[in-house]
Structure 1
Amino acid sequence: MKSRAILIRSYGGPEVLELAEIDVPLPGPGEVQIHHTAIGLNFADTYYRTGLYKPAGGLPFVAGSEGAGTVVAVGEGVDDFRIGDRVAYPNNDGAYCDYRNIRASALVALPDDIPFEVAAAMMTKGMTVEFLLNRTYQVGPETVLLWHAAAGGVGLIACQWAKALGATVIGTAGSADKVKLALEHGCDHVINYREEDFAARVKELTAGKGVDVVYDSVGKDTFPMSLDCLKPRGLWVTFGNASGPVEPLAPLVLLQKGSLFMTRPTLGHYIATRQELNKCAEALFAIVRGNKVVINVNQTYPLADAARAHADLEARRTSGTTLLIP
């Protein structure tokens, strides 16, 4: 079978994203073949494009890591899925295409009441939020947290979810429109980091105490100020590099700033088993079905316009979630 796909043959800017036609063989043992209805765009996709993250199979490779669609063929030994099943997946290289083969163990069954577009918009982002709020740090009614990029795709999900858990949610955003959007989606306070010193403002909002946990996917531009937002023995969760990688950190700095903790988690380590994958997905589906988290698909692009989508994402011209439509 032939499929359109977005190939990366060399690392670089959005211009290296090439629309091409590739061969998709019949699925092998343990695999299924799916036809995408919608594909999620994640900031991590830009890291693979630039070479900050390296794909397992090297160059060239098909970009993307998240999608939703329908099973169209089933390989030997697959018992969990049949032709016609609705499925979705997070965190699996090779998503920017019409058709693909994928390990059945990487898929989750998509409930009939969750549209493909919503699934593609939330699998990686929503499952990331699940492990960050429930397992990296257990957020609850007593928690005061800071979430950077609160109006981004992960941020809008996270702030709603954290508010549903009873937390006090402080966000940062880079424009008046994004501040308003974050306030409408769970934040108690939002700091425009282009106009205010966010560390000083956090201390003001917390009467000098600081927050329990900082969730930071921005990286270079928010370091080391994120550490100054924490109370003693607080946790800094650095889980992305939107502005560039964080500089090396001497452990002594954590002592000096209050015996702080830090972690650099990634979704793959939290859904490494079938049981963990299903449990994480079930928690995400439940909170969306309960209307406690609304998934915002604010931009869609044709698959062929993946380069434009990347450029807009990196220029911070997007909010909420962005989809590519085959």
Structure 2
Amino acid sequence: MGPRGGSAMMGMLARGAENIYWLGRYLERAEGVARMLQVLEQISLEIRGLDPELSNRIWEDLLHIYPGSGMGAPEGNDPDQTADAFIREFLLSSSNTLSVAYSIRSARENARVIREYLTREAFVLLNECHIRLDAFTQASEINRMQMRDALSFTRQEVFGIWGAIQQTFSRDEGLRFLDMGTVIERAYRTLLLLRVKLPFILNTPAQSDLPIYYARIRAMLKAVASLENYRRSHGADLDPMQVSRFLLFDQRAPHAVQVCLRMLKRQIDELEYGSPMTHPSKLLGKLAARMEFEEQEILASSSLETTCSEIAEQVIEIHEAISRLYFTV
């Protein structure tokens, strides 16, 4: 495919670019969902003795951070049954396009299409992860402990796959598309997490509810692999606006939205070097400039969760513009 707008892809076909891009998105999604399930189970158990109803209801956040799963809120008030239902659906479901199993299977299909771009080590690791997880999906019965094991090994194996890819992938336009898919998925989920959690964390509760309040803020940071990074910068101070700023703007946080957008811009700029500015580049430039120069205005907005929702919609616009430009034959 000749890329639109005169940008250089050095001969990469649209099909190859698209599959590499989605390989990045699916691997990021698989690890992110697995981590989210682990965090939600932990926080649900932690607060069960303090607020049994909340420990059950907190699982519904998953439906808003990963919308489009097709899952409804389970009936009943049994926390264990609720946890089992959500973990099973978002770990093993073959029809839920946001489940870990679906993402790993899809990543493997992407990898098969672009087999020539991957080294044997990376492909074998991904194939083994798929086979191992598929054994759980085919099992007639699987208990909570087995699902916990599946979550843990899947995250570990995705990290191994990423390591193999980063160590062996050719430093060309293919790696740029891989990174683009990764950071778009990462930025989008961080924004949806903020959209869901901000109404709660920006309303400090009564003194008696503070243990639950701070436990939920810690869980929020854990959900995007940011608690330890946050503590290095801010210690134990879980000020809600400071947490919000960290996840939106902090340059030391790999999951911070601005960090992801800067990485995305760098990859697109390299793809389009010496060519006229394309539509994705214009959209991204506008959003990146807003994040760069309007930090205080964004944080001071009357409805920060609404602002995060708007930015998430802009990220989707950028994704769609990239798809039309590079992936449409």
TM range (shorter): under 0.3
Identify, as 1 or 2, the structure richer in strand.
Answer: 1
The normalised TM-score by structure 1 is 0.27
Identify, as 1 or 2, the structure richer in helix.
Answer: 2
The normalised TM-score by structure 2 is 0.27
